[in-house]
């Protein structure tokens, strides 16, 4: 590197400090367009040249640069700052600036910042099931970069491994590969460079973005803001194709529930426990049967619930070990399509053996609450209204909830969760059917209605349907019986 190039690089580092005092090392390196290793060398050279760069809570300059050597110092004036920035820009424009540690990266051109409308969207997936990334690109991928500068002006950057699949599946206008960003996992730095090349310094990112990528974007000079409403409205309103995909997932869930119930109905009762093929019937065995059915249909549900009593009094208890007879078994299956990535959500409760009068009353109350919740659904209805309708039925039937204004007697079975939620690329997404939600239901919302009652030490009952909000009310995607009797499912 010749002297002019060296001075050009030093001036660029210096200009970055002058323009924005208080930067940390990572931020300063990004602003100056150098690697951290080069920055350390440059700061040492600046100090050797008599220009003191101090670091307390950030880098600041304290004395004038003496490009001819050590010794002479004086206070800096504003003209010095302007001169250094002007010289730095001039030597960059002349092509005298380069960083040997970043020879593979072209220096971003200085372009007048462009701002029109909302800031561009930058997405880096948190994993293959990142719903925002799938929604924006049509591609489920573990590692990639997507930038939407404006409508119909977007780019998807993938690894060589995924480029052909991206070209076949993605909706992005431009699809390119970048091996180095993939190898170095430098997607955020690549995003910053691509934005700067267009004169853009701000961006919107998904709440799913990992913190390390957010920090890298900001360190590279991009004002990255988390957009909590990103795609929320768009994802809520399901198109005909999306609604069909969810309905197909719900049908797969029904098949899996039937398979679990078939396994339960084939079991024998020995000493209050269900037995099958000479051994106790367990949640794990039923889980395997359900997964096989789902897998054959192109779905998966690794966290499904097949929970016997008394543990099913805990609504999210997944289930483990032998299944007790004469007690409720909650089956909650929410499969994801391996092709469309859309979900279904279905819950049923069954009993093998004798059904007690108390359990029969609990189940009847839950079914009445389910119908009341469904009947209250319509466009323009607040999300809390179906929940309150469900809670009112349960309290009227002598049970309790944890919702204010709907708390029944102590010691009785109660509902301790919301009535429902949206379903789409995620099993739980907007909108919510719960207390205090005044956001109105809209045509195209796909939601669940899932009242339940639970009593610790005894067990629980939950029944759940999924459907879509229409101008005419709730169109139920679920066709499966709600019976406690396993034989009614076969």
- The confidence score (pLDDT) of residue 45 equals 78
Domain borders along the chain are 3-102, 121-230, 236-489
Secondary element (H or E) of residue 47? helix 36-48
- The confidence score (pLDDT) of residue 257 equals 98
Residue 115 has pLDDT above 60, yes or no: no
8 Å CB contact between 380 and 363:
no
Q: What is the mean pLDDT of residues 76-92?
A: 52
Could you tell me the two tokens for 489?
Answer: 């499912």
CA nearest to 484, candidates 345, 304, 350: 350
Dihedral of CA 126/131/135/139: which sign?
positive
Q: What is the mean pLDDT of residues 232-249?
A: 97
3-state SS class at 12: helix
For tokens 């960059």, name the residue.
92
8 Å CB contact between 465 and 370:
yes
Within a 13 Å sphere around the CA of 33, how many CA atoms are in the beta-carbon half? 24
Which pLDDT band, with edges at 50, 70 and 90, does 448 fall under? very high
Hey, which residues does 270 pair with through a beta bridge? 273
- The confidence score (pLDDT) of residue 58 equals 56
Helices 240-265 + 283-297 axis angle, to 10 = 140
- The confidence score (pLDDT) of residue 119 equals 96
Contacts made by residues 275-280, CB under 8 angstroms, sequence distance 24+: 280/321, 280/322, 280/323
Q: What is the mean pLDDT of residues 160-166?
A: 97
Query: What is the tens place of the pLDDT at every residue in 287-312?
Result: 999 999 999 999 999 999 999 999 99
- The confidence score (pLDDT) of residue 7 equals 75
Which pLDDT band, with edges at 50, 70 and 90, does 116 fall under? very low
Q: What is the mean pLDDT of residues 375-382?
A: 98
CA nearest to 474, candidates 356, 361, 389: 389
Query: d(Cα 413, Cα 293) in Å, to the nearest integer?
Result: 34
Query: d(Cα 142, Cα 274) in Å, to the nearest integer?
Result: 42
- The confidence score (pLDDT) of residue 143 equals 97
More confident of the two residues 230 and 61? 230
Least confident window among 113-127, 208-222, 299-313, 413-427: 113-127
More confident of the two residues 106 and 158? 158
How many helices (H) and strands (E) in the chain?
A: 14, 25
User: Domain 236-489 belongs to what topology?
Assistant: Creatine Amidinohydrolase (3.90.230)
Least confident window among 21-30, 438-447, 473-482: 21-30
Q: What is the mean pLDDT of residues 437-444?
A: 97
Average pLDDT of the chain, as a whole number: 88
- The confidence score (pLDDT) of residue 200 equals 95
* Fold: same for 3-102 and 236-489: no
Query: What is the tens place of the pLDDT at every residue in 148-161?
Result: 999 999 999 999 99
8 Å CB contact between 333 and 290:
yes
For tokens 């839950």, name the residue.
366
CATH architecture, range 3-102: Orthogonal Bundle (1.10)
Q: Concatenate the DSSP letters of all residues of 319-381 into one string.
A: --SBPBSSSEEEEEE--EETTT--B--EEEEEESSPPPHHHHHHHHHHHHHHHHHHHT--TT-
Which pLDDT band, with edges at 50, 70 and 90, does 52 fall under? low
Query: d(Cα 157, Cα 246) in Å, to the nearest integer?
Result: 29
Residue 86 has pLDDT above 70, yes or no: no
Which pLDDT band, with edges at 50, 70 and 90, does 9 fall under? confident
Query: What is the tens place of the pLDDT at every residue in 473-489?
Result: 999 999 999 999 999 99
8 Å CB contact between 451 and 369:
yes
- The confidence score (pLDDT) of residue 330 equals 98
Residue 56 has pLDDT above 70, yes or no: no
Query: d(Cα 299, Cα 293) in Å, to the nearest integer?
Result: 9
Query: What is the tens place of the pLDDT at every residue in 171-200?
Result: 999 999 999 999 999 999 999 999 999 999
User: Domain 121-230 belongs to what topology?
Assistant: Creatine Amidinohydrolase; Chain A, domain 1 (3.40.350)
Residue 267 has pLDDT above 80, yes or no: yes
Query: d(Cα 46, Cα 52) in Å, to the nearest integer?
Result: 7
8 Å CB contact between 194 and 118:
no
Residue 463 has pLDDT above 60, yes or no: yes
In 185-332, which residue ranges form alpha helices assigned H by DSSP?
187-197, 211-219, 232-236, 240-265, 283-297
Hey, which residues does 475 pair with through a beta bridge? 468
CA nearest to 456, candidates 400, 388, 404, 390: 400
Q: What is the mean pLDDT of residues 393-414?
A: 96
Least confident window among 37-51, 377-391, 471-485: 37-51
- The confidence score (pLDDT) of residue 49 equals 72
On the question of a cis peptide bond just before residue 310, with omega within 30 degrees of 0, the verdict is yes
Which pLDDT band, with edges at 50, 70 and 90, does 107 fall under? very low
Query: d(Cα 359, Cα 353) in Å, to the nearest integer?
Result: 12
């Amino acid at each position: 590197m010749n002297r002019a190039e060296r001075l050009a690089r030093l001036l660029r580092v210096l200009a970055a400090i002058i323009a924005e005092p208080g930067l940390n090392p990572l931020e300063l390196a990004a602003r100056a367009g150098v690697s951290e290793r080069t920055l350390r060398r440059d700061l040492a050279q600046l100090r050797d040249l008599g220009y003191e760069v101090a670091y307390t809570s950030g880098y600041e300059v304290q004395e004038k640069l003496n490009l001819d050597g050590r010794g002479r110092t004086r206070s800096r004036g504003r003209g010095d700052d302007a001169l250094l920035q002007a010289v730095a820009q001039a030597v960059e424009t002349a092509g005298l600036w380069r960083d040997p540690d970043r020879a593979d990266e072209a220096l971003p051109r200085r372009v007048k910042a462009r701002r029109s409308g909302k800031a561009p969207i930058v997405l880096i997936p948190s994993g293959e099931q990142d719903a925002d990334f799938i929604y924006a690109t049509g591609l489920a991928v573990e590692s990639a970069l997507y930038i939407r500068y404006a409508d119909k002006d977007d780019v998807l950057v993938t690894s060589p491994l995924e480029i052909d699949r991206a070209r076949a599946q993605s909706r992005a206008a431009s699809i390119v590969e970048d091996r180095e960003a993939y190898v170095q996992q430098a997607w955020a730095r690549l995003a910053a460079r691509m934005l700067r090349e267009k004169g853009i310094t701000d961006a919107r990112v998904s709440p799913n973005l990992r913190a390390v990528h957010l920090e890298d974007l900001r360190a590279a000079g991009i004002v990255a803001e988390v957009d909590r409403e990103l795609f929320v409205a768009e994802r809520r309103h399901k198109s005909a194709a999306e609604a069909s995909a969810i309905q197909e997932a719900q049908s797969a869930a029904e098949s899996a529930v039937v398979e679990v119930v078939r396994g339960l109905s084939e079991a024998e009762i020995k000493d209050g426990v269900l037995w099958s093929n000479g051994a106790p019937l367990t949640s794990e065995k039923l889980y395997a049967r359900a997964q096989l059915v789902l897998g054959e249909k192109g779905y998966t549900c690794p966290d499904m619930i097949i929970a016997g009593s008394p543990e099913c009094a805990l609504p999210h208890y997944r289930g483990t070990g032998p299944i007790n007879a004469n007690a409720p078994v909650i089956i909650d299956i929410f499969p994801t399509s391996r092709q469309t990535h859309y979900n279904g959500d279905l819950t049923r409760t069954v009993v093998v053996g004798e059904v007690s009068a108390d359990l029969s009353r609990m189940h009847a109350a839950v079914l009445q609450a389910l119908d009341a919740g469904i009947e209250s659904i319509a466009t323009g209805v607040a999300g809390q209204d179906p929940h309150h309708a469900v809670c009112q039925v349960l309290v009227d039937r002598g049970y309790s909830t944890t919702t204010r204004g709907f708390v029944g007697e102590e010691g009785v079975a109660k509902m301790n969760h919301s009535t429902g939620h949206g379903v789409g690329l995620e099993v739980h997404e907007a909108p919510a059917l719960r207390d205090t939600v005044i956001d109105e239901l809209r045509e195209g919302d796909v939601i669940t209605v899932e009242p339940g009652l639970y009593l610790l030490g005894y067990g629980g009952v939950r029944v759940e349907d999924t459907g879509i909000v229409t101008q005419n009310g709730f169109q139920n995607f679920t066709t499966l019986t709600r019976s406690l009797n396993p034989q009614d499912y076969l």
